[in-house]
A and B are shown apart, each in its own frame.
Chain A
Amino acid sequence: MDTQPKSWHNMELKHVPYTLAGHDVPWVLAARQSALSRFAEHGFPTRRDEEWKYTDVSIVGRHTSLEPDHIPPDPSSGAKLLAWTLASEDIHLMVFVNGHYAPALSMINDLPVGVRMASLANILENGADLPESLFNQQHEHTIFTALNNAFATDGMVLDLSPGTVLKAPIYLLFIASGHGVAIYPRNILVAGEGSQATVIEHYMGTLDAHNFTNAVTQISLSARAEIEHCKLLQEGPAATHIAGIHAEQASDSHFISHSFALGGRLARNDITAQLFGKGCHCTMNGLYLLNDRQHLDHHTRIDHLAPECTSREYYRGILDGESRGVFNGKVVVHPSANKTDAHQANYNLLLSRQAEVDTKPQLEIFADDVKCTHGATVGQLDDDSLFYLSSRGIDAELARSVLIYGFANNIIGRVDMPELRTRIAHLVLERLPQGDQIKELL
Chain B
Amino acid sequence: MLIIKNLHVAIDDNGSRKEILRGIDLNVKAGEVHAIMGPNASGKSTLAQVLAGRGGYLVTEGSVRYLERDLLMMTPEERACEGVFLAFQYPVEISGVSNALFLKTALNAVRKYHGQSELDAIDFLSLVRERMKRVGMEKALLSRAVNEGFSGGEKKRNEILQLSVLEPKLAILDETDSGLDIDALKLVAGGVNGMRNPERAIVLITHYQRLLDYIVPDVVHVLSQGRIIKSGGPELALNLEQRGYDWIEDEVAAGQMV
Binding site for B on A (CB under 8 A): 382-385, 387-396, 398-399, 402-403, 405-410, 413, 437-438, 440-442
Contact = CB atoms under 8 A, between A and B. Distances in A.
A410 B81 CA distance: 29
Nearest to A392: B106
B104 A441 contact: yes
A283 B91 CA distance: 33
B166 A393 contact: yes
B77 A388 contact: no
Given A398-B105, A402-B105, A438-B105, A391 B96 contact: no
B88 to A, nearest CB: 7
A442 B104 CA distance: 9
A442 B53 CA distance: 29
Contact of B80 (A390, A403, A407, A438): A390
A410 B80 contact: no
Contacts, number: 94
B95 A406 contact: yes
Contacts of A410: 95-96
A396 B108 CA distance: 15
B145 interface: yes
Closest 3 CB pairs of A and B: A406-B96, A409-B96, A393-B80
A441 B108 contact: yes
B113 A441 contact: no
Given A392-B166, A395-B77, A387 B105 contact: no
A410 B86 CA distance: 28
A391 B75 CA distance: 9
A211 to B, nearest CB: 33
Contact of B97 (A383, A384, A405): A405
B96 A413 contact: yes
Give the size category of B's interface with A. 20 to 34
B162 interface: yes
A375 B81 CA distance: 40
Given A441-B105, A442-B101, A391 B94 contact: no
Contacts of A398: 105, 109
B77 to A, nearest CB: 4
B54 interface: yes
Interface of B: 52-55, 75-77, 79-81, 85-86, 88, 91-92, 94-97, 101-102, 104-106, 108-110, 113, 118, 145, 162, 166
A383 B76 CA distance: 13
A281 to B, nearest CB: 24
10 contacts: A383-B55, A387-B92, A389-B94, A389-B105, A391-B88, A393-B166, A402-B101, A406-B97, A438-B101, A441-B101
Contacts of B52: 387, 391
A402 B102 contact: yes
Contacts of B162: 392
A390 B75 contact: yes
A407 B105 contact: no
Contacts of B55: 383, 387
Given A387-B76, A441-B104, A394 B97 contact: no
A407 B97 CA distance: 8
Contacts of A382: 92
Contacts of A385: 92, 94
- Looking at A382, A383, A385, A406, the one whose CB has the most chain B CB atoms below 10 A away is A406
B94 A406 contact: yes
B4 to A, nearest CB: 18
Contacts of A399: 77
A382 to B, nearest CB: 8
A212 B173 CA distance: 58
A236 to B, nearest CB: 28
Contact of B95 (A389, A407, A440): A407
B59 to A, nearest CB: 17
B78 to A, nearest CB: 8
A333 B108 CA distance: 51
B92 A393 contact: no
A405 B101 CA distance: 11
Nearest to B103: A392
Given A394-B77, A407-B95, 16 more contacts: A387-B54, A390-B76, A391-B52, A392-B77, A392-B109, A392-B162, A393-B80, A394-B105, A395-B77, A398-B105, A403-B94, A406-B94, A408-B96, A437-B105, A437-B108, A441-B105
